[in-house]
Structure 1
Amino acid sequence: MESFPKIISVDDHTVEPPHVWRDRLPSRYRDTGPRIVRAPLKEMTFIGGRFAPKMGAPGDDGPLADWWVYEELHRPLTRLDTAVGYDRDEVRLEAITYEQMRPGSFSVPDRLADMDVNHVQSALCFPTFPRFCGQTFTEAADRELGLLGVRAYNDWMVEEWCGPEARGRLIPLIIVPLWDAELAAAEVRRNAARGVRAVCFSEIPPNLGLPSIHTDDWDPFLAACDETGTVIAMHIGSSSRMPSTSADAPPAVGSTITFANCCFSMVDWLMSGKFERFPDLKVMYAEGQIGWIPYILERADVVWEENRGWGGVADKVLRPPSELFAEHVYGCFFDDAFGLRNLDAIGVGNVLYETDYPHSDSTWPKSREVGEAQMGHLAPDVVERIVRGNAIDLLGLTADGLWAGAPGA
């Protein structure tokens, strides 16, 4: 393309620097809150969709790694957290230290430089240690500390990661205390007051031991998002269970079918009645790709039309699911030529672009080239909407594509 628009990526990731909780938690929690410990790795597997690292004691054999330690959790930094800059065949399931990762993973100036290399203007970043919807804190035993941990992360996200140094180019994405919908609503409102317009949520909450979207339990949280214009962002894996077929299936199986969780989740939402009750609610699916969407919408409409009487949705889903999708749901992709060839069946206004920096699936530093190759058949105004325009509208960015709540934006 002669002039490819500057990208607004709606799915990148930050690797939190060691000081996030150390500097923000009360002093009584310094030794129990999330902290980095350097220790050997004894063993690490990722089979059947489950990640299982084992931390060694000082003096044990094994490569040294930086571990997040929090209550009973020992979670190492891994090459999969920050794979950009490495040859694909060199990206393996291994534990690393901060010195072994690309600085743009955790440093704002280095991130902006890597965005410049990749033709990216602005980026929305999901968490790493809290996991994709903050479930690390939801699983913790000490709820008081967990709530402080959530708030500390959000303060760091807004004030530092997306602070003055970022110049509006990094877009804040917060987490909430998922164990209490009222507390979650309060955290949404607290951050909406300082310009935040996106919050992480689980694609399939029951997998985390939480209520499903079909209950009324989440209504305080949903009402807060509806009233403040806060987008609910769901990343693949935000249910702590990646799709797989068996306990011994290699990771390649799950990596091929990661979209399945988004598929299940979207049908949940379309058949939940929540979009009827909360008419301004918006949800987006990060890293789910888009090629699967047309058939699911077709099937959901058929089920709604023919089976709603016995299907349990006649009294709460009052319009065809495809209409609800068009008004409320956004699919996100980084590499989906098939989906772009079927864009008319999805909707130009329901598609967002992403680069997935710094993960192993990332198209960095060639996200522009990938976009040009896959969108070459589309009109320039359509490309503009997909690559940046839809994100500007959805996330309430300035006309220039910057976070409006940032100093000087």
Structure 2
Amino acid sequence: MMTTATLERPESKDSQIEHVEIKVIDTDVHVEPRSFEELIPYLDAPWRDMPNLIDSVPFSRSTYKTLDGGGRKDAYPSIGDIGSDPELVGQQMFVDDPTDYAILLPWSFRGFTTDPKLDTALAGAVNSWMADTWLSKYNAENRYVGSISISVDDPLGAAKEIDKWGGHPGFRQVMIGHYGPRPFGHPMYDPIWEAAARHNLPISMHFRGGATQPLGWTSTGPLQYFVEYHSLIAPMAYAAHLASWICNGVFDRHPDMKVLFVEGGFLWYRPVVDRMQRHWAMTSKELGLKKTPLQYVLDHCRFATQPIEENTDPHKIAALYEEANAAELVMFSSDYPHYDYDPPSKALPRSLDADVKKRIMSENARLVYNLPTTRPVDRFDLAAGGAR
């Protein structure tokens, strides 16, 4: 059920239509089907016709939750799950605190069973549903940008799914979770990175749980409390995958590959990389690599802001951002519609200079996703009070 989506390019803009400068690109916006039943028509046979399929696939994750739930209270529609109502999402994303482009990460299905083939079928259904709804029916203004869902536990199936959707103009990245049987630099995952490279698609990693491992699982066992999970789980896992990608030469084999680490902060990478670099001249001889760990990060890695590291001293946080190369490596994310949503107007520390803020809020993401510098004025701009 493939559909067509287009994103306005600067060279093709109509001079009779007013355009506005791109100022905010949100790299972490979660949307949902109204229910699992909405996905079933998009499943391929024989999965679509399996009895009791709904009962065997957990639409509601086994995960840590905040004590008052995981979503913004004002983001729940009257019908359906949070993030499933296009009018409510459009109002809150493009009018209330305006964003220009929303990079969509469908939240429910990114590998939730013990059957890799079923996970690939579910990912395929999500991609078809996404193309038919948020990248088509709900996207008259071309503000939504899609992510190709895959199952990392089925690398060959994942590669086929990337090849299927890689030419669709609405999909601008490949989305993966952070759990797998091995760190992602291992050769078993090569088909995924090769397929993404064929289509010049960045990889967006967002933590998730599944049937084989709970969301708070670590190398020493499960975490007990939400505050532990929220503070630790993503940076620990992301550091392991980053080191694995570097040490296995994945970035050398794919010199244009970009990886976006979402919802895990970014200041953590510098001590990890500095620790690798300290003895790199001696310890990396067996690897035959071309660059230092820091250079690999600068060339291949990007980090989303939310949950952004903060400090009570504005001068200290500005220095930390500079140390972490935030002007080049960091991209804005809100984590809409979750409880810790960061509105664009308040997301960054006031002490950052205007050029750094511009790069974080839009320019870094615009380059990664090959988005235009301007877009046409639309109904959301008029509802927000006209062109900015």
Normalising by the smaller structure, the TM-score range is 0.7 to 0.9
Q: Deviations over 1:342-401 (max 9, x none)?
A: 2222222211110001112222xx431232xx0x23332221110011111111222237
- 1:9-408 aligned within 5 A: 9-18=26-35, 19-25=37-43, 29=47, 32=50, 69-71=54-56, 73=58, 75=60, 83-85=71-73, 99=78, 105-115=83-93, 116-130=95-109, 134-136=110-112, 139-140=114-115, 143=117, 146-166=119-139, 167-195=141-169, 196-206=171-181, 211-237=182-208, 240-242=214-216, 247=222, 249-258=224-233, 259-309=235-285, 312-313=286-287, 315=288, 317-334=289-306, 335-337=308-310, 340-347=318-325, 348-363=327-342, 366-371=343-348, 374=349, 376-400=350-374
Higher strand share: 1
Contact 2:27 2:333 in 1 (8 A): yes
- The 3 A distance-change label for structure 1 pair 341 and 168 is farther
Which residue number in structure 1 is paired with residue 8 of structure 2? none
CA drift of 1:212 comes to 3.6
Aligned length: 337
TM-score (norm 2): 0.76
Supply the distance in 2 between the matched residues of 1:341 and 1:288 (Cα, whole angstroms): 20
Supply the distance in 2 between the matched residues of 1:188 and 1:107 (Cα, whole angstroms): 27
TM-score (norm 1): 0.73
Supply the distance in 2 between the matched residues of 1:146 and 1:237 (Cα, whole angstroms): 14
RMSD: 3.2
CA drift of 1:73 comes to 4.0
Unpaired stretches in structure 1, ≥5 consecutive residues: 36-68, 88-96, 403-409
Unpaired stretches in structure 2, ≥5 consecutive residues: 1-20, 312-316, 377-388
- The 3 A distance-change label for structure 1 pair 384 and 156 is same
- The 3 A distance-change label for structure 1 pair 28 and 225 is closer
SS of residue paired to 2:121 = helix
CA drift of 1:30 comes to 5.0
Supply the distance in 2 between the matched residues of 1:336 and 1:77 (Cα, whole angstroms): 27
- The 3 A distance-change label for structure 1 pair 306 and 76 is closer
Contact 2:251 2:300 in 1 (8 A): yes
Supply the distance in 1 between the matched residues of 2:320 and 2:231 (Cα, whole angstroms): 20
Which residue number in structure 1 is paired with residue 314 of structure 2? none
Letter of the 2:143 partner, please give it.
Answer: R
Contact 2:22 2:373 in 1 (8 A): no
SS of residue paired to 2:148 = coil
- The 3 A distance-change label for structure 1 pair 170 and 70 is farther
Q: What percent of counterpart residues are identical?
A: 18
Moved more, 276-285 or 181-190: 181-190
- The 3 A distance-change label for structure 1 pair 246 and 223 is closer
Which residue number in structure 1 is paired with residue 15 of structure 2? none
